[in-house]
């Protein structure tokens, strides 16, 4: 059995017609999961309402400045607007983004109580959101906030974040690279938005590993990187928990990048991670071709059920 943390409220973050980060991303994934051969093995859970999650605001405030949190709230309350040219805020976006954070925190709690994987199916995504600035479709840094939350739990002294979104998680790295108890590893197309994530960056505590890949990369590139770079990095860090920023825009069909993974490749990637630990929280980031996005989530979840 695998918990999937999801709410229809995540559809209420409205990005406008033709924006790639659309509510249809979630409806496509939900439909695919409910039709999957393993559908009966999924436990659908609603996230804790933001107002009822005592950890939410303290953890949000560890990742983001009060002025930035207030800015997102003000724009939404005023009827909506833009953080940048790509990142719209609709009237309900602040509330929905808080609920997404709550879902990731719930995911940490579930993984630690079961010592098995869980999947957070939420939006808006988060890995581009820096402490004082949202960008790249992202409002709050879900993965970083979840890592801070995990470190409050008994027996959790070190947390690793693996980001396989095709775009570098500049926000996640900026927030956690000074934290000795958090490691960040990213595989991402370079050059590509947002232009960050150089291989030379190591973090403040040798806790960052960036693995840029060229356009056109396939599993033939990713496989040796996982075996020779990612897994040794994780093994050396000895994390008590793994958080995956699971973007699916490295698919060949995705319109926003030029890496050529196939949906089934994500089954291989998660299997590498399961060989490291079963205490894995997988949370949705990017992925904008609806069919391959949905297929990739199915491919990620299936090995977790073994």
| Residues noted as catalytic | 128
Judged by DSSP in three states, 11 sits in helix
Tokens of 258: 């030029």
Nearby residues of 85 by Cβ (< 8 Å), 6 or more positions away = none
Spatial contact of 158 and 185, defined as CB atoms under 8 Å apart = no
- Four-CA torsion 224, 201, 124, 22, nearest 10 degrees: -60
Rounded Cα distance between 47 and 15, Å, is 22
Nearest to 280 by CA among 227, 248, 244, 247: 244
Spatial contact of 274 and 190, defined as CB atoms under 8 Å apart = no
| Rg, Å, the chain Cα set | 17
């Amino acid at each position: 059995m695998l918990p999937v943390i999801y709410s229809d409220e995540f559809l209420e973050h409205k990005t406008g017609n033709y924006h790639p980060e659309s509510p249809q991303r979630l409806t496509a994934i939900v439909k695919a999961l409910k039709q999957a051969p393993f559908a009966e093995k999924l436990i659908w859970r609603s996230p804790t309402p933001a107002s009822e999650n005592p950890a939410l605001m303290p953890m949000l405030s560890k990742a983001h400045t009060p002025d930035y949190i207030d800015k997102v709230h003000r724009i939404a309350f005023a009827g909506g607007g833009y953080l940048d040219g790509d990142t719209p805020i609709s009237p309900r976006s602040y509330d929905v983004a808080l609920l997404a954070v709550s879902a990731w925190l719930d995911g940490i709690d579930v993984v630690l109580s079961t010592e098995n994987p869980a999947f957070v199916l939420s939006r808006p995504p988060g890995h581009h959101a820096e402490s004082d600035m949202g960008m790249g479709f992202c409002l709050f840094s879900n993965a970083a906030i979840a890592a801070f939350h995990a470190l409050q739990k008994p027996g959790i002294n070190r947390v690793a974040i693996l980001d396989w979104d095709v775009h570098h998680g500049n926000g996640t790295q900026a927030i956690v690279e000074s934290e000795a108890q958090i490691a960040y590893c990213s595989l991402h197309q370079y050059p590509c938005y947002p232009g960050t994530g150089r291989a030379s960056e190591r973090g403040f505590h040798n806790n960052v590993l960036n693995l840029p890949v060229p356009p056109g990369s396939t599993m033939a590139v990713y496989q040796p990187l996982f075996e020779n770079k990612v897994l040794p990095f994780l093994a050396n860090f000895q994390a008590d928990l793994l958080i995956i920023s699971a973007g699916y825009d490295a698919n060949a069909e995705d319109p926003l990048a030029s890496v050529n993974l196939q949906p089934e490749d994500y089954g291989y990637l998660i299997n590498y991670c399961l060989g490291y630990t079963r205490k894995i929280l997988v949370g949705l980031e990017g992925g904008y071709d609806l069919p391959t996005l949905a297929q990739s989530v199915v491919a990620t979840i299936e090995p977790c059920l073994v």
